Chain A
Amino acid sequence: MREKSGNRESFRSAALLLCALLEASPAIAQEMTTSLVDIHQGSPLSDRARGLGNGGYELQNGNRVSFNQWYRASWVDMHVDLLTQVTEDTGILWGFGTGEEGEKYRIQPSLKLGFLTQMHPSPNSTLSLSLTTTFGGKLTEKSCEADYGDFGTYSVNCRLAASQMAPEETLKYLVNAKPESQHLWLNYRVSF
């Protein structure tokens, strides 16, 4: 799945080019155009979920259990960011993430909303500010059912079932993570 990160970079380059075009053509802004700003697969949470797949342990009979089977997904979370230009110097940033799901985790779909504004302190400079908020996109790790023979069957954290921790204690360590919910971006550019 790591190769998907390469796609993220190429899409980013394309998005930056689109941004540059947008800035260079103010006339287009008058028509409330919507432009693709960024499209990429993967995210910090996606990487984190993948990281949970490292490791494993032996069952009582010596058979090895690998975490990898539980923390891989056939589809990696894809994010699409768009900009709808409202005036010459303002626009609405919006987008979405598809989410992803493995056997023992889920990343919810997400929605991104925000704005972008810019001003020109001097003819050859631009000050830009954007603020975006992300809704959803939470990473939730699922539990496993572990059979401990005579000790009974417990709901456990899959990764910690063979540790010395009491089965019920392992549930405290299930990953429950939110994506970066707000993003503030400030940029000042001078051309010379």
Chain B
Amino acid sequence: MSGNHLKFGIALAFAMLSAPIASAQEAPDADEMAALCHGGLTICVSATIPAARTQAATPGWMSPDVGAAWAAGYKGQGVTITIVDDFSSSSRFSGNFGVGVQNQRHGEWTREEAGMIAPWASIRSKDFSTGSAVSLAPGRNVLNLSYGMYTTAGYSVNQIGWAPEEASIISYASSGSAIISKAAGNDSVAVGGVTNGQQDYLNLALIGKQTAIFVGALSTNGTTTNKAQLAWYSDYAGSNPLVQSHFLVVGVDGSKTGLYGTSFAAPIISGYAAIIGSKFTNATPTQITNDLLNTARTDTLVNYRASLYGKGEASLSRALAPVAIR
């Protein structure tokens, strides 16, 4: 601390570590994965009469919506996702996104996840320990923040002396120059709430910013017949309407990946934003943010209420669909 300003020494990543899982679950075979991740123009429709909606094989942890995105050959191209995370520590943990058990750093996991959702997005890694400003790539940008900035509760956001890194991120969220997908947190409190005498001031600083999206975790992907509920650890929207209107939830199916935490919810929204950006090539970050927020579903959630789920479960298919057609 210096004067009224706080300096953060440690950024906390939002992973919930679990025991390594023993084997790949629902893993496509090696050839299939190669095709999914590296195949060229795999538009699964004929040249003259394409099917309206086709489905590509996806790992079981992903929403079926993503398979439809892949099938159409639109995988986030033209959009840059910057993962601001841990890429340098010695801390590693195991999981399996359907490609075999791996032992990776937190940032390597979130980067892999975003890259799997939007395989053709340009993915950049920014180690959060450097504290240097995050630069934007030409074109549309999504910043993935699967971490928080915690210190003693009770300060005003204005009292925080942000490092250039977070200062740049907050600035982008304010100006609408990049979509900010921020993991809500794993303390089962409302966004910005106090836990063990501490608060996530990065959450607090992003409240009310036009392109910030707080992302909570559901224990599974929801459907109308099999509704999902908030994961036991996930932070929720709370009573602040400014948070509720920028809060989304997505399925983080740890039973399939061995990976739990809102850290793995934020990259899903980052990937969705990239896919929407690859469809609407002239869309602004604010438009993409609003599209994701306004098309979230509430009918796939157990006892939906805004204070818990915010706008609801993100729906890629609805975000890509027209409002009306004639």
Contacts and interface: CB of A to CB of B under 8 A. Distances in A.
Given A67-B52, A158-B325, A160-B52, A151 B280 contact: yes
B146 interface: no
A163 B72 contact: yes
A48 to B, nearest CB: 7
Interface string A146-179: 1111110000101111111111000001010100
Given A57-B52, A173-B50, A161 B72 contact: no
B49 A162 contact: no
B325 A52 contact: no
Residue with the greatest number of chain A CB neighbours at <10 A, chosen from B68, B291, B322: B322
Given A67-B52, A173-B48, A151 B291 contact: yes
Nearest to A56: B52
A59 interface: yes
A23 interface: no
21 contacts: A55-B53, A59-B324, A60-B294, A60-B295, A61-B323, A149-B291, A151-B280, A159-B50, A161-B321, A161-B322, A161-B325, A163-B52, A163-B72, A164-B72, A164-B275, A164-B320, A165-B73, A166-B280, A167-B279, A173-B49, A173-B50
Interface in B30-53: 45, 47-53
Contacts, number: 109
Given A150-B291, A162-B321, A167-B280, 19 more contacts: A55-B51, A57-B52, A59-B318, A59-B322, A60-B318, A60-B319, A145-B326, A150-B287, A161-B325, A163-B53, A163-B68, A163-B74, A164-B72, A164-B73, A164-B278, A165-B74, A166-B280, A173-B49, A175-B49
